[in-house]
């Protein structure tokens, strides 16, 4: 069943490979302007080539001083997870951290981001598959309930087939 398959699906299948980064020492005003310009809600915070944290638009909402550095507002408690991490583990990390995005790495480099929206896309795909399976089962039941099929089934059963 597809639902069992989700437990083994990897985040690589659902992440967004285009990563937008910001250096930790950039001003919050510049970072917010970048998010607005690109219509995104998260920036991966880097210190040079090293991952430091994530800046979420929610984190910026209550900050009035746009001259603050990104490093003063970012979340440093959100770990970057390996691209081969199973979806179930990532969902657990989202819930445990209260995060809306998690960076993903490949060979130690940030290569993607998985957002709450991506998890909703996964859920939507699973619900569609579930709905199609349910429809197929109901169609099969309807088919088997037809009088002609019942008669044929009884005849074949009576003939030992």
Q: Which residue has the higher pLDDT, 153 or 82?
A: 82
Question: For the residues 41-60, what does the mean pLDDT come to?
Answer: 92
In the predicted model, what is the mean pLDDT of residues 66-70? 92
Beta strands in the chain (DSSP E): 21-23, 42-47, 50-56, 81-82, 101-106, 109-115
Tell me if 110 sits within 8 A of 19, measured CB to CB.
Answer: yes
Q: In whole numbers, what is the pLDDT of the chain averaged over residues?
A: 80
> Is 70 exceeded by the pLDDT of residue 62?
yes
Say which range, 11-20, 69-78, 114-123, has the weakest mean pLDDT.
11-20
How is the chain split into domains, by residue range? 2-115, 120-158
pLDDT value at 23 more than 90? yes
Beta strands in 57-151 (DSSP E): 81-82, 101-106, 109-115
CB 115 within 8 A of CB 73: no
Residue 128 pLDDT class (50, 70, 90 cuts) = low
Q: Fold for domain 2-115?
A: CBS-domain (3.10.580)
Comparison of pLDDT for 88 and 24, the residue scoring more: 24
Tokens of 117: 């929206």
pLDDT at residue number 14: 74
| pLDDT above 60 (res 7) | no
The pLDDT of 138-158, averaged and rounded, is 65
Task: Give the pLDDT mean for 73-78.
Answer: 92
Measure the CA–CA gap between 97 and 114, rounded to whole angstroms: 14
Q: Is the pLDDT of residue 158 over 90?
A: no
End-to-end distance of the chain based on CA atoms, in angstroms?
30
For 146, list phi and psi in degrees, rounded to 5: -65, 140
Q: What is the pLDDT of residue 34?
A: 95
Structure tokens at 79: 């770990």
Rounded to an integer, the average pLDDT of 51-63 is 88
CA 119/CA 111 separation, integer angstroms: 17
Write the CB contacts of 76 (distance below 8 Å, at least 6 apart in sequence).
52, 53
């Amino acid at each position: 069943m597809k639902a069992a398959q989700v437990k083994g699906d990897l985040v690589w299948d659902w992440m967004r490979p285009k990563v937008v980064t910001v250096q930790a020492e950039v001003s919050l005003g510049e970072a917010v302007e970048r998010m607005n310009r690109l219509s995104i809600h998260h920036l991966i915070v880097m210190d040079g080539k090293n991952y430091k944290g994530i800046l979420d638009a929610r984190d910026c909402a209550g900050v009035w001083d746009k001259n603050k550095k990104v490093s003063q507002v970012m979340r440093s408690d959100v770990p970057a997870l390996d691209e081969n991490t199973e979806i179930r583990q990532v969902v657990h990390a989202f819930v445990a951290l209260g995060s809306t995005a998690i960076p993903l790495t490949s060979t130690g480099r940030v290569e993607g981001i998985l957002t709450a929206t991506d998890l909703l896309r996964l859920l939507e795909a699973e619900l569609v598959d579930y709905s199609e399976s349910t429809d197929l089962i109901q169609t099969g039941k309807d088919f088997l309930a037809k009088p002609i099929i019942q008669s044929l089934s009884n005849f074949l059963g009576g003939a030992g087939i």
